[in-house]
Amino acid sequence: MVNSQAVERPANLSKMAAIAPKPVVKDAILDATDRLLARFGYRKMTVEDIAAEAGIGKGTIYLHFSSKEEVVLSHVDRIVERLKDRLREIASSDATAAERLRLMLLTRVLFRFDSIQHYTQSLNDLLAALRPGLLARRALYFEAEAEIFAEVLVIGRQSGEFSFDDEHVTAHALLQATNGLLPYSLSTTELGERAEVEQRASDVANLMLQGLLSRTTS
């Protein structure tokens, strides 16, 4: 099953590679990587496969990435960047701070799930192979997300919806509460169906929000 977000590569991309803007070629490489992860998994996929799937030469891959591992880690980086864009959209919406926060907690879990569910058969293999690199990046990912959550927490405190001592500590607590539902933490078996993941994320979000909201009326 191919990721619905993956774009179809242009037939003449190999001819375009020398003149196309770097982001275009890089995105084509990452789109090809996503399709190959779904088709073959990480260990069976090669740089040659990625080049062929993207319609470019192998050397072009190395103009953008130092190794297959770096290609896949950059693919994960792109997922997180898109997630942060979505979180910022929710954070700047007209909904109440509580509604925004709840949707953001659900989104940080489900966005990641939707981005990798089409290759869950190879997920354990992928995570095992990339775990050191992922661990180094995860702290940066979560810190960036925490900053967005902290902004909404401040808005909620100013509006009287929330009561807490420190927005950054609270933001990290919210992330920690849902980290156990992320693909980095769960095996393919534990991930389950999307509806199950959504329900568990919703339960955690409601519990965390109840704690914030209840303190405003105590």
Minimal CA–CA distance to 205: which of 174, 176, 183, 182?
174
Minimal CA–CA distance to 172: which of 152, 145, 134, 194?
145
Residue 102 CB coordination number (10 Å): 19
Place of tokens 């420190």: 166
Tokens read off for 47: 């740089």
State the DSSP code for 45.
Answer: -
Domain ranges across the chain: 13-65, 69-214
pLDDT computed for residue 2 by the predictor: 39
- Asked if 163 and 215 touch (Cβ cutoff 8 Å), the reply is yes
Minimal CA–CA distance to 15: which of 66, 67, 56?
56
- Asked if 7 and 27 touch (Cβ cutoff 8 Å), the reply is yes
Minimal CA–CA distance to 113: which of 37, 196, 45?
196
**3-class DSSP assignment, residue 94:** coil
For 135-148, b/e burial (b = at least 16 CB within 10 A) is: eeebeebbeebbeb
pLDDT computed for residue 218 by the predictor: 44
Any idea which fold 69-214 has? Tetracycline Repressor; domain 2 (1.10.357)
The C-alpha atoms of residue 113 and residue 130 are separated, in whole angstroms, by 17
pLDDT computed for residue 20 by the predictor: 53
Backbone angles phi, psi at 68, to 5 degrees: -60, -40
Residue 81 CB coordination number (10 Å): 12
Per-residue pLDDT of the chain (218 residues; tens, 9 = 90+): 334 343 344 444 444 444 455 789 999 999 999 999 989 888 899 999 999 999 999 999 999 999 999 999 999 999 999 999 999 999 999 999 999 999 999 999 999 999 888 876 666 777 778 888 888 888 899 999 999 999 999 999 999 999 999 999 999 999 999 998 888 777 667 777 889 999 999 999 999 999 898 554 44
Any idea which fold 13-65 has? Arc Repressor Mutant, subunit A (1.10.10)
Angle at 32 between CA 105 and CA 179, to 5 degrees: 20
**3-class DSSP assignment, residue 197:** helix
